[in-house]
A and B are shown apart, each in its own frame.
Chain A
Amino acid sequence: MLTLDGLSKTYKTGDSALSDVSLTVPKGQIMGLIGPSGAGKSTLIRCINRLVEPTAGKVLLGDVDLARLGKAELRRQRRRIGMIFQEYALVERLTVMENVLSGRLGYVPFWRSFLRKYPAADIQRAYQLLDRVGLMDKADNRADALSGGQRQRVGIARALAQNPELLLVDEPTASLDPKTSRQIMRLLTEICAERDLPAIVNIHDVPLAQQFMQRIVGLNAGRVVFDGPPEALTEAALTTIYGEEDWNAMRKGDAEQAEAEADARARMEAIA
């Protein structure tokens, strides 16, 4: 269980990215974080594993306050938090297997990681994860030889290799096409359900969030302005999060896309 208590972040420039955010994410819950660009979604996620240092507040994972740890202890605690990135953030010139095994870096001594001599159990688990995300045959390919969807699945496998207790997911579908986006979101939700993993998913695609999230939190200018189930995300709620806009136009666009997809599926089935 993750608890944020009065989390705030003010950048050196004086910009207040987060002010007084308090949230609780129970075990197994997938929480979507939505909000306009610059609302602090990315900062919030990065304050949890301290890729960004929060200025005030508590980050409780279980009963450890992550915001108050020294360097060595922080590294040990980061192992408990898997992170999945926008644009995948794989190390492009390393192989898929090395990228997945890099999820074990926090657990192995330097010489093992340097010589790529990981313990047998780690290697076995890495293969198992690659199989789970459907990339068993790509283990020896270089990461930059994969397509966008494949890369994001490697990113998921890397995060799971850490054996995490929490997933932080930063715009997982930002550079993927709609169909691949849905596949990735489905894979994420399945995996979280399998392992009873809580996840915070930072996402800018509102319909996608409504389709896959169990709970949605809306941020605006660093403050939580909405917190509820996806059904409660009415037009009024969207307006408080994003400001004035013709929401029906967007929904209509999404409905069209869904229709097109259904149509494509029907045609595929007809062919098969």
Chain B
Amino acid sequence: MSSVAAYPTTWRRPPQIVKDRRWRIALQIGIFVYLVLAISTVDVNWSRVYEGLERGQRFAMGFLQPDFTSRWTDISRGLIESLTMTLTSTVVGVIISVPVGIGAARNLVPRSVYYVCRGIIAVSRALQEVIIAIFLVAMFGFGPFAGFLTLSFATIGFIAKLLADDIEEIDEAQAESIRATGASWVQLINYAIQPQVMPRLIGLSLYRLDINFRESAVIGIVGAGGIGATLNTAIDRYEYDSAGAVLLIIILIVMVAEYSSSYLRKFLQ
């Protein structure tokens, strides 16, 4: 072995993507030139920015001094609407999701049923809640009923898909052993499938419950009632102190829902 002094004392990570030094410099210059040119084309209306800053400051001040009292009746009505919408739509959504989810499990049903149920799930998942809400508000008018339908519909796509995926991953041996006893299809579901997927179904339903509350605030803005509608009204009236109060309440409820549902899920697993 030669002495330690013979080895280099510095090491640099070799370039990984562009190996040629000249190309690297050219690229760096190119990016810089592009940025300068691109920024120079942006036309900023500084007076509007200034106005916006002022409004933003009022908004921030509203947050710092949230006003729960002067619009309390509106806020509490919105809250109750939202919570009602959340709970009812989750329950209805889960009840509908269970048969759809079973139908969308490749290992339990004939191909034709599978494709129909997967189709229902695909449609429900393809449309974002806000878009469904816009449609349903146009169909059923403003208010929480449209919101309830929107959230139920969105819940179906979510729960049914995850339930179906879970059913497809069950331990087949358990299903085979029940089938071998001469059990009928419904008995197979009840004895071999349900015990295996139940904890997960409960966990998913609780998770969906808190997603639905958050979504209820969003779809309220497009007219589907609830706390979102209250928030929208407050902002439209420039009542940022009330809007701040609403936002704080939403944050609080989402946090409570989040923690309690994750606790419950842990408890049930």
Chain A residues in the interface with B (C-beta under 8 A): 49, 51, 75-79, 81, 83, 85-87, 89-94, 98, 102-107, 110, 113-114, 155, 158, 162, 168
Contacts and interface: CB of A to CB of B under 8 A. Distances in A.
B180 interface: yes
B196 interface: yes
Contacts, number: 80
Across the A-B interface, give the 9 residue pairs with the lowest CB-CB distance, nearest first.
A106-B182, A78-B182, A105-B183, A89-B177, A93-B195, A79-B182, A89-B173, A83-B180, A75-B182
B174 interface: yes
18 contacts: A49-B180, A76-B182, A77-B182, A78-B179, A83-B181, A85-B177, A89-B174, A91-B177, A91-B195, A92-B196, A94-B191, A103-B181, A105-B181, A105-B184, A106-B183, A107-B182, A113-B190, A158-B181
Interface string B192-217: 10011010000000000000000000
A106 B182 CA distance: 4
Q: What secondary structure prevails in chain B residues at the interface with A?
A: helix
Given A91-B191, A105-B191, A110 B178 contact: no
A94 B192 CA distance: 9
Contacts of A79: 181-182
A90 B191 contact: no
Interface of B: 171, 173-174, 176-184, 186-187, 190-192, 195-196, 198
A232 B186 CA distance: 47
B237 to A, nearest CB: 54
B182 A102 contact: no
B179 to A, nearest CB: 7
A168 B183 CA distance: 17
A107 to B, nearest CB: 8
Given A75-B183, A93-B196, A87 B173 contact: yes
Contact of B181 (A94, A110, A114, A162): A162
